[in-house]
Structure 1
């Protein structure tokens, strides 16, 4: 049955391969692909492989995963190992270029079809593959296994939905997850789920995002917005999903009469929705300014819409209160660590199962509060705006929660050591050989 499933998956890939070009072109038209580097998606390398020594392939799909593994990447590179790092989005590619260009070779991840994966592996010849979080590509896993290249899943997590989906295909799940030489999970729950699905070596190291650097902020933009906002009361709603902007707008409408000059900052999870969100807010009679248009808020602005990529660190520094989305109308929640790290008290809906462990710690320490609906959200924002001591206490508890979660980086490196040590040893032996030849 498992062989049949793999065969069917490969057959679909073979059939679909001629049609991938229109698909990639469609993604490019939506700004999701880099026109200059499309060939990398077909496994055609854009850079040379280093001539000598072992090479580690590290894959992080998007911005969040790339930021989370950045400290891990630097620690591995510090041992002299060459690294090719792949990502799947243009924004994550930009992050890698900004933070890691001095220690990795960046490529876009090949599409999970045999010709693309084989071209990629033939060129780069990795000695070890490290994948972040939950990127499971059956054909890539199969090709790495066939070449006896160890595969490790780090910062690994499985959402409730993904776990239930894999449970309906137990043999396929086992065939895939047993291919990983080690799974380094984010939590005890994630670790147990990977074991149940067939992973053989599993450890819980905690969440690497707690060891990442705080989100950066452009100083010039931060100064400009701080000056434009002045002393106005404000709160932020970040990573919002459809339906949540309307809830936040209603909160603003209720509270603007109680808090003179109230400014609400909305940062949607998908910035391409910016124009539609701005129209919906304007239709409610709210005055909206958009960051994507280069606008700054003025005294009459109700909502400042942060519809840009890579500037969340700026918006979080502007407010001591943040509602984190995909938690009321959406399902699963969004990562609250970035807000907590920047001393922000967190409000969230009930549906945060994808970040269960993190929220449990935040709630226990008082760094986060759960709201069920618009009434509860309005009441919490109102109370926090009225009480600066309460806001400060929440911010401190949020930062303390992140501090308690740190240590995942060292624990992950400990789990990786049996796989990295032989590669470090080969570099050392190679260097000794060169020295001996030079005598």
Structure 2
């Protein structure tokens, strides 16, 4: 038996006071919602009647991955309620905005409890899920072990295991097997991920990547019309979901491009909107405006910092080309399928391991251009952007190729939903109507977020 599991459990229990302080500090920085911190201690259960499926998605990317599952799950089981837990405020906000109106009463949200044994136990005792689905690489040992001990069937969907993470888990092979073997169903997002997961003890298969099945990012129609009117005739390029170090490169690239492309508008969308003031400060003497301050990209604005949440779909629709952030710095890249679905040509740097299989397919199809920074990252980025701005036909051809790749796996959410529902226990006899359908759980009023709960832990 591996000693890592009890060591993790004891360490988490001992760290509980420190974690409380950590949460308060996060709340002071806007990283937690103060009145909802008790959810991190397992409080706030409000289990609806009927069968309950628990979906856990860490942050924005994982939340976007499960959105395509909600419709098929609800359609196949009309009596099913879904609890979605996340770990970030941005993912909770995104979920509240993106849940289809017809499902709002059946999809609840809570922040996931931290992996402290008594907090995990309180959460599971309160919600009593009939099955649990973890997304991508969310492997919290205490949470997983406690759910398994209660007989909750576990599933890992769109599972991802990077080379670096696999090496880390391989240092404690018994611990890795003990965690992964608890999952009855492991559906990897690529064959390479499946192979690494199998090497660590998971019974993994690869049905496909749910990221291919996500719907296009939304955009408010009125905002889109206004933005197009304000920027009509201007060449526009977008640096999307950028990380520290990339904004300075994008701004330096703008300075090189401006002389070649009169009226150029550079839009930067930082991955974390709270970095908006920091990004704007990098502009120096360039005319800059921040969306979070209510400013618009007027004709005299050269650099527009879109430091708001959930509006990438708006800017992908107006940009002639988009650079995907997290790829010029060693972060691993963000999702290149988001611009591809909207017909926006895609540029990416060398660091794309978070989406290695997707990037490889896009490159093979001619749907993505690599930016090789070398000793002059700004020059390399400017050259790639300029090539798209000066050759609209090239950009359209690349966008078409990317769109065809993004359209793959259209039926995957239905297949994954069926596999997940097979893990659920049969509904009680009194929940089945005369027509054989499961009776729908009563809808709850209000948004799919927690009401205030008692602050004790």
Aligned to 2:316: 316
Contact map agreement 1:244 1:329 (CA 8 A) in 2: yes
Alignment match of 1:198 (pick from 198, 201, 218): 201
Aligned to 2:140: 137
Aligned to 1:264: 266
Residues 1-56 of structure 1 show CA distances to partners (whole Å, capped at 9, x for unaligned) of 61x2222212112212223322111111111112222211111125x2123x3221
Matched, 1:71 2:68: yes
Residues 242-271 of structure 1 show CA distances to partners (whole Å, capped at 9, x for unaligned) of 221122112111111111101111111122
Matched, 1:366 2:366: yes
Query: After superposition, where does 1:343-362 map in structure 2 within 5 Å?
Result: 343-362=343-362
Post-superposition offset of 1:377: 2.1
Contact map agreement 1:83 1:103 (CA 8 A) in 2: yes
Aligned to 2:439: none
CA distance in 2, matches of 1:167, 1:10: 19
Contact map agreement 2:72 2:413 (CA 8 A) in 1: no
CA distance in 2, matches of 1:433, 1:226: 54
Alignment match of 1:415 (pick from 415, 419, 425): 419
What are the ranges of 5 or more consecutive residues in structure 2 without an aligned counterpart? Answer: 437-457
Residues 268-305 of structure 1 show CA distances to partners (whole Å, capped at 9, x for unaligned) of 112222111111122xx222111111111222222111
CA distance in 1, matches of 2:114, 2:9: 12
CA distance in 1, matches of 2:282, 2:297: 18
Give the SS at the match of 2:237.
strand
CA distance in 2, matches of 1:427, 1:261: 65
Change (3 A) 1:428 1:402: farther
Aligned to 1:378: 382
CA distance in 2, matches of 1:17, 1:407: 43
Matched, 1:187 2:190: yes
Give the SS at the match of 2:282.
helix
What are the ranges of 5 or more consecutive residues in structure 1 without an aligned counterpart? Answer: none
Give the SS at the match of 2:322.
strand
Aligned to 1:400: 404
Contact map agreement 2:320 2:388 (CA 8 A) in 1: no
Matched, 1:178 2:181: yes
Contact map agreement 1:320 1:395 (CA 8 A) in 2: no
CA distance in 2, matches of 1:430, 1:226: 52
Contact map agreement 1:238 1:324 (CA 8 A) in 2: yes
Aligned to 1:49: 47
Contact map agreement 1:238 1:269 (CA 8 A) in 2: yes
Post-superposition offset of 1:227: 2.0
**Structure 1 segments of 4 or more deviating over 4 A?**
432-435
Residues 384-436 of structure 1 show CA distances to partners (whole Å, capped at 9, x for unaligned) of 1111111111111111111134333133234335314xx3x42566325999x
CA distance in 2, matches of 1:77, 1:349: 39
Matched, 1:5 2:4: yes
Aligned to 1:213: 215
CA distance in 2, matches of 1:320, 1:360: 22
Residues 300-342 of structure 1 show CA distances to partners (whole Å, capped at 9, x for unaligned) of 2221111111111111112130010111223311111111111
Change (3 A) 1:411 1:301: same
Greater CA deviation, 309-318 or 74-83? 74-83
Change (3 A) 1:9 1:31: same
Contact map agreement 2:153 2:183 (CA 8 A) in 1: yes
With normalisation by structure 1, the TM-score equals 0.92
More helix by share: 1
Residues 184-242 of structure 1 show CA distances to partners (whole Å, capped at 9, x for unaligned) of 11010011111001102x11121112212111112232223222212100111111112
CA distance in 2, matches of 1:345, 1:181: 40
Give the SS at the match of 1:347.
strand
Contact map agreement 2:239 2:268 (CA 8 A) in 1: yes
Contact map agreement 1:145 1:179 (CA 8 A) in 2: yes
Alignment match of 1:151 (pick from 151, 154, 157): 154
CA distance in 2, matches of 1:157, 1:312: 24
CA distance in 2, matches of 1:363, 1:25: 44
Give the SS at the match of 1:33.
coil
Alignment match of 1:273 (pick from 269, 272, 275): 275
Residues 52-102 of structure 1 show CA distances to partners (whole Å, capped at 9, x for unaligned) of x32211111212211221121222223121222111112222222233323
